[in-house]
Amino acid sequence: MASAFISYHRADSAALATLVATSLQQSGIDAYVDTRSGDAGGLFPDRLRRAIEDSDVFICLLGKSTLQSKWVLEEIEHAHNLRKPMIPVFQEHYVPPDRAPNEHVAALLQHDGVHIFDIKNLYVDDAIERLEQIIHNSTMSPTRSTGSNRARIMPGSLVIGAVLIGALVIVAATLINSNGDRELAALQTPIPTTVVAQVGATDTDIPTATIAPSPTPTDTPVPTATPTETAVPPRSTPTSTETPMEIPTASPTSTETETPTPSPTATPVSVTPTVMPQSRSYPCEATVDPYATASILTVVRQSPNSSTTIASVRRGEQVLVIDRSAGAQVFYRIQSNGRTIGWIAAEYLELSPTCPEG
C-alpha cells in the first residue's frame, strides 16, 4: 500500500486536509495527517520527521498563508532533503509568491500538482482523483528502490551484462572472420576466368545466329559482302542494281519503323499520381500548450460564452477535441481520460494534423 504525508497550515487547510486524507484512505492510500497542537514554537517534532521518512509521497496543501508557517517549511525541507516525490495542491485562495522563500519551496512549486476549488466546492472529487493518479505514478517509479535493494541487484546485473557483452564480442568476431574468408575466397576464386573462357568458346561455336551480323565474316555473309562492293561501280551502267537495292532497303525500313512506336506510348499511361488526402474530422487529438510557463493551467470553461473556469489541465497533456465553437473567438470542447472536461480557448491547444482547419 502506498503512503502519503499531508503537510498543511491549520488556519487555511484543516478541513481540506481531513477530506483529502479520508478520500485517499478509501482508495487504498495510507495518508498521515497531524491533528495535534497547532504550529507553535520550539523544535520540529520527531514524530513528524519519522512520519515523513516512512511515507512514499509528500503532499503539501498550499493556501493563502501556508508558506508563512515555520513547521510547514520544516516539513518541506525535510522531504526535499530525503528526495521524496513532492505534490503541491493549490487551493483556490493560494497566491503564488514573487520569490520562493528557499530552494526547498522552489523545488516543491516546480513539481506537477493539482488545483482544487475548495471555496466554490467545484470538481473537488475530480481533483482528488487526479491526486491519487499522481501518487500511484510516483510510487510506481523505479527510482524508489532503497540502497539495500540496489546492493542486492547490482552484482546480478553486472554478471548478466558481462555475459551479454562476451556473447556479442564472440558473434562480432565470427561475423568478421566469415566476412574476411568470403572476401578472400572471392579474390582467389578463378570463376570469372572460367566464365569468360566459356563465353568465348560459345561465341566461336555459335556466332552466326546471335552476334555475327556486323563484324564477323561467316559463310553466309561473305558472299553478300562481295556483291555490295562490286555493285557500287556498276550502278551507273545497267540493270544489275536491282538485286542489291531490294534486299537492304526492305529489311531496315520495316525494323526501324516498328521498334520505336510502342515504347513512348506505354510509358506515360502508367504514371498516375495516387496521393489520397488525409481526412480531417472530430474527434481528433491535441496537446495542451507545451510552452506554457505554468505546469497547471486553470483555463477550462463550462461554455464558450462563460468566463468562469471550472477545471484545470496540465502543460503538455494529451486531450481529445470533440467540438469547436462558432463565435469570433475559437474555443474547443475537450475530453481527458474518456470524460468531457469543458471548453478551452484555441491559444491553449496545439492541434494535431487530423483536426479540421479553421
DSSP symbols for 197-218: HHHHHHHHHSTTTTTTTSS---
Question: Given this model, what pLDDT does residue 174 score?
Answer: 74
Helix axes 103-110, 70-81, angle to 10 degrees: 70
Question: Given this model, what pLDDT does residue 42 score?
Answer: 62
Question: Given this model, what pLDDT does residue 243 score?
Answer: 42
- Stronger pLDDT, 74 or 271, i.e. the higher one: 74
pTM: 0.42
Angle, vertex CA 158, rays to CA 156 and CA 163, nearest 5: 100
Question: Could you give the count of Cα atoms lying within 13 Å of 133 in the half-sphere of its Cβ?
Answer: 10
Give the pLDDT band of residue 309 (cuts 50, 70, 90).
confident
Question: Given this model, what pLDDT does residue 291 score?
Answer: 84
Fold of 284-351: SH3 type barrels. (2.30.30)
Q: At 78, which helix (H) or strand (E)?
A: helix 70-81
Residue ranges of the chain assigned to CATH 2.30.30.40: 284-351
Are β-strands 318-324 and 284-288 bridged in parallel, bridged antiparallel, or unpaired? antiparallel
Are β-strands 57-62 and 3-7 bridged in parallel, bridged antiparallel, or unpaired? parallel
Burial of 112 (0-12, 13-18, 19+ CB in 10 A): middle
Question: Given this model, what pLDDT does residue 146 score?
Answer: 38
Query: Long-range contacts for 18-27 (Cβ within 8 Å, ≥24 apart)?
Result: 19/124, 19/128, 20/59, 20/61, 20/89, 20/128, 20/131, 23/125, 23/128, 23/132, 24/128, 24/131, 24/132, 24/135, 27/132
Question: Given this model, what pLDDT does residue 113 score?
Answer: 92
Please give the Cα distance from 251 to 256 (Å, whole number).
9
| Cβ count near 17 (within 10 Å) | 22
Residue ranges of the chain assigned to CATH 3.40.50.10140: 3-141
- Stronger pLDDT, 26 or 278, i.e. the higher one: 26
Question: Could you give the count of Cα atoms lying within 13 Å of 71 in the half-sphere of its Cβ?
Answer: 21
Among the ranges 47-61, 126-140, 152-166, 276-290, which has the highest mean pLDDT value?
Answer: 47-61
Please give the Cα distance from 9 to 2 (Å, whole number).
23
CATH code, 3-141: 3.40.50.10140
Question: Given this model, what pLDDT does residue 168 score?
Answer: 83
Please determine, for residue 282, whether its predicted confidence score (pLDDT) is greater than 70: yes
Question: Given this model, what pLDDT does residue 155 score?
Answer: 44
Give the pLDDT band of residue 181 (cuts 50, 70, 90).
low
Query: For residue 327, what is its C-alpha cell?
Result: 463565435
- Stronger pLDDT, 233 or 318, i.e. the higher one: 318
- Stronger pLDDT, 176 or 76, i.e. the higher one: 76
Longest distance between any two alpha carbons in the chain, whole Å: 139
Please give the Cα distance from 201 to 198 (Å, whole number).
5
The mean pLDDT of 26-49, rounded to a whole number, is: 82
DSSP secondary structure code for residue 89 in this structure: E
